[in-house]
Homo-oligomer: A and B are copies of this chain.
Amino acid sequence: MKAPGCPLCEEAGGTVVFQGDCFRVVRAAEPGLPAFYRLIWTAHFREFSDLAADDRHFCIDAVACIEEALRQHLDPVKVNLATLGNAVPHLHWHVVARFEWDSHFPGAPWAVAQRKVAPEAQARIEGLLPSLEADIAARLAVLTGNRTAT
């Protein structure tokens, strides 16, 4: 179920961390926000409430799974979750680890940037991303496998 001209139907939309049948997870390149992930639903739905209830639960369990991995690996001060889609109305969830030193804190990732990030802070988080992303993929493989098994 693809929509002609939709960038999230046609391209990955970032560095792929996990690829399942129903959704993929990508890392977005957002300067100043070094742990910015997106869960992109495979089928072209516009709104979250377009999903059937069991797909909504599966989708939000996956979002919570990513959040838990971010918390465990990065110890962020907060995690931000959002599905907006005003510019690209193909269902995707932003899952963003926030730090007091990041470019936008305490503002939203879509607000005006408040500061330039210190390179060493950014580099410290970037160094943790490979093991974080391996763990995200492992957790989502279990979640996806459990669903297929039921």
Contact = CB atoms under 8 A, between A and B. Distances in A.
A56 interface: yes
A149 interface: no
Interface of A: 46-49, 53, 56-57, 60-61, 63-64, 67-68, 71, 77-87, 89, 98, 105-108, 110-112
Contact of A86 (B46, B60, B108): B108
A46 B76 CA distance: 12
Contact of A80 (B57, B60, B83): B83
Contact of A56 (B60, B79, B98, B110): B60
Main secondary structure of the interface of A (DSSP, over half): mixed
A71 B49 CA distance: 9
A48 B111 CA distance: 21
Given A46-B78, A81-B84, A82-B84, 7 more contacts: A47-B67, A47-B79, A49-B71, A56-B64, A78-B86, A87-B106, A108-B110
A60 B57 CA distance: 8
Contact of A107 (B57, B83, B89, B110): B110
A67 B48 contact: yes
